[in-house]
Amino acid sequence: MVNIPGRIELANLPTKIEKLERLTEELGGPNIFIKRDDQTGSEISGNKIRKLEFSVKEALDQGCNLLITCGGIQSNHARATAAVVAKLGLASCLVLRSDKEEEKIDGNYFLDKVLGAKIKFITSREYKESRMEIMEDLKEQLSKEGYKPYIIPEGASNGIGTFGYFNAMKEIAQQEKEMGIKFDAVVIATGSGGTYGGLFLANKIMNHGAKIYGVNVCDDEEYFKNQIDKVIRESLEYIDEDVELSKDEINILDGYVGKGYALSRPEEIEFIHKLAKLEGVILDPVYTGKGMYGLINEIKKGRFKDNNNILFIHTGGLYGLFPKKDLFSF
């Protein structure tokens, strides 16, 4: 197997795989399984910690003592970064997107503050057009204050971060052997491309044979094919491996962005509520709610009629559900 960069061990791994028995029965097949990456930890829960294990190792190897990253006001990645920083005795600066004059302290944003992160707010327009430049300016400013900063892009979705889900795909392959099962498809919600990129690259190098599907929660299929291709090519710079890659091999289940990133439609909230009551599994409104909603609708449309076993990865996000509580009807 290919040698990948080193990591620090932060997540509770391996995460378990469960069959969603009642959902499978309701749909009449295929068999739907869920990998509980929402259980990688508490403060560090979710998929981002797998990527941070590699990003933070690189930062420490470079002698850095402050991490700068970015995301939405309810960013799971930003919260996980703040938790890792506190755990390791480092410092953090989170660049969060918000167009409100004052944000309600709730969910992940509340935890960011509890964990002691420095926070800088920027508008949606600034975030879209110049978040990397803003983080570079912060890096320069904080360097003058005596810190040695390290920038982690949105979602830790870059070359080094990709190896978090490269490792996860190896973990899935081992669990398949233990369970005596083979997953034809692995499905995730896709928001920045790094999780998909890692799964795809490992699946290809291992010649594993599963199809990797991403349900985009923002932007569109073309954007994510380009973004995932970029992230994978960055990751290849870390390993001595010649991999032929075509964007046509990247499978995006487009059409489930709904109102937009972090904006919920009633049917998405209803689905989250239904699955919680049906299986005791709570999805989040930004990523996994849209991702699983998309998967189930595609199953109903017949896209997966030739599949026997589908694995959906629960990438976390529970804390982001609390600011949406007013959308639920009880």
Alpha-carbon torsion, ordered 283, 289, 291, 294, to 10 deg: 130
Q: Are 228 and 197 in contact (CB under 8 A)?
A: yes
Identify the active-site residue in 45, 55, 75, 157: 75
Q: Catalytic annotation on 75?
A: yes
* 194-205 helix and 221-236 helix, angle to the nearest 10 degrees: 60
**Tokens 């204050």 map to which residue?**
145
E-assigned strand segments in the chain: 17-19, 31-36, 66-72, 91-97, 118-122, 149-151, 185-190, 211-216, 251-252, 309-314
Q: How far is it, in rounded angstroms, from Cα 158 to Cα 156?
A: 6
List CB contacts of 19: < 8 A, sequence separation 6 or more: 31, 32, 33, 34
Query: Strand, coil or helix: what is 122?
Result: strand
Residues recognised as catalytic: 75
